[in-house]
Amino acid sequence: MSDRRATREALGETLIELANEGIAVVAVDADLSGSTTTARFGTAFPERFFNVGIAEQNMIGVAAGLAVEGMVPFTGSFAVFATGRAYDQVRNSVCYSGLDVKLAPTHAGITVGPDGGSHQMLEDIALMRVLPGMRVLVPADYVAAKAAIRLAATTPGPFYVRLGRAGVPVLYGDDHRFELDRVRVLREGIHITLAACGVMVEQALVAAEQLALDGIHAEVLDVATIKPLDAQGIAASARKTGAVVTCEEHSVIGGLGSAVAEALGELAPVPLARIGVRDVFGTSGEPAELMAHFGLTGADIARAARRLLERR
């Protein structure tokens, strides 16, 4: 793990690269282009950048129209607005119509920090993964975010790419390729599986180090694709270790933990614990403080893993 970069930094930069490669990407933003980094793309390709103002529903409608005309639109805004405020348009204009629109909002989860509970979107994965045809990607670092955006841009149909505000370690090399519906094993283990996504991949690796001090060898999975979920890959790890802890910066209801529980219930029933936000809204604070407050640190994951192994 090396320097820390926010996954949101990948959006504007990758769109510029894609446009230079001849891919018909455009960006539609809701007056947050500085924060989402689509402003960088707008500077490089002003004719492909559309700021619709504080109007997320219109943002999705404009993106849908651009997709009908053969463009590959990426929408900006914060996750709480891009999914919650514009849900009807995402459902009916994008998914129901099967349009080639890519939602790539930033500022997801509690690591938004001081903006508080009104802006800390903890329900977006649940909202997006239930929509027919929507693919849901939650990259763990800047490199994976670039690869996820590139995959979304070159794969037809709706995508949701969840990006964050806070810096996270760069886990992957520049040659990393994002594989749809494939978990990536970051650390081999035999005693318990830690299945994580997004910023929680770092914490799962920290937990694995702590558990190793006790002679517990945890397998760490980067579940970057929540939908379509690599159910077989997760089940294979569960059969190998016999217990699973899911780790997400999202509500435990409807997100990664729910998706993994559904898969294991059908394919490999094993003891399961879910690390995430427990049916509450967020609150104001610094990202590190909030991670501790909501029990999302590596130490919290390690404690949950030990309890699960005792129960097993």
Classify strands 218-222 and 192-196 as parallel, antiparallel or unpaired: parallel
Look at residue 189 and give its three-state secondary structure. coil
Instruction: Quote the pLDDT of residue 293.
Output: 97
Rounded distance between C-alpha atoms, residue 204 and residue 190, angstroms: 15
Which DSSP symbol is given to 300?
Answer: H
Q: Is the peptide bond before 269 cis (omega within 30 degrees of 0)?
A: no
The rounded percent of the chain whose pLDDT value lies above 90 is 94
For 28, 50, 75, 79, 298, the CA distances from 161, given in Å and listed in that order, are 15, 19, 10, 10, 24
Retrieve residue 233's tokens.
């890959």
Catalytic residue among 56, 123, 202, 249: 56
Backbone angles phi, psi at 151, to 5 degrees: -60, -45
- Whose tokens are 């993106």? That residue is 63
- Whose tokens are 């849900």? That residue is 87
54: number of CA atoms within 13 Å, CB side?
0
Instruction: Quote the pLDDT of residue 91.
Output: 98
Interacting residues of 136 by C-beta distance below 8 A, sequence separation 6+: 125, 128, 129, 159, 160, 162, 225, 226, 227
Contact 201, 222 (CB under 8 A): yes
Rounded distance between C-alpha atoms, residue 274 and residue 261, angstroms: 9
Query: What length does the chain have?
Result: 312
List the beta strands (DSSP E) in 217-286: 218-222, 225-227, 244-251, 272-277
Neighbours of 1 (CB within 10 A): 12
Neighbours of 48 (CB within 10 A): 18
| Domains in the chain: ranges and CATH | 4-169 (3.40.50.970), 184-311 (3.40.50.920)
What single letter denotes the amino acid at residue 161?
Answer: V
Instruction: Quote the pLDDT of residue 238.
Output: 98
For 82, 113, 130, 279, the CA distances from 284, given in Å and listed in that order, are 21, 6, 29, 17
Cα 206 from chain centroid (whole Å): 19
Contact 240, 201 (CB under 8 A): no
Rounded distance between C-alpha atoms, residue 49 and residue 26, angstroms: 6
Instruction: Quote the pLDDT of residue 84.
Output: 95
User: Against a cut of 0.75, is the pTM above it?
Assistant: yes
Nearest Cα to 272, choosing from 281, 282, 262, 280? 262
Interacting residues of 191 by C-beta distance below 8 A, sequence separation 6+: 211, 216, 217, 218, 241, 242, 243, 309
Rounded distance between C-alpha atoms, residue 301 and residue 226, angstroms: 20
Instruction: Quote the pLDDT of residue 2.
Output: 52
Per-position pLDDT tens, the chain of length 312: 458 999 999 999 999 999 999 999 999 999 999 999 999 999 999 999 999 999 999 999 999 999 999 999 999 999 999 999 999 999 999 999 999 999 999 999 999 999 999 999 999 999 999 999 999 999 999 999 999 999 999 999 999 999 999 999 999 998 898 888 899 999 999 999 999 999 999 999 999 999 999 999 999 999 999 999 999 999 999 999 999 999 999 999 999 999 999 999 999 999 999 999 999 999 999 999 999 999 999 999 999 999 999 987
Clarify whether 56 is annotated catalytic: yes
Instruction: Quote the pLDDT of residue 1.
Output: 46
Retrieve residue 113's tokens.
């920090």
Instruction: Quote the pLDDT of residue 201.
Output: 98
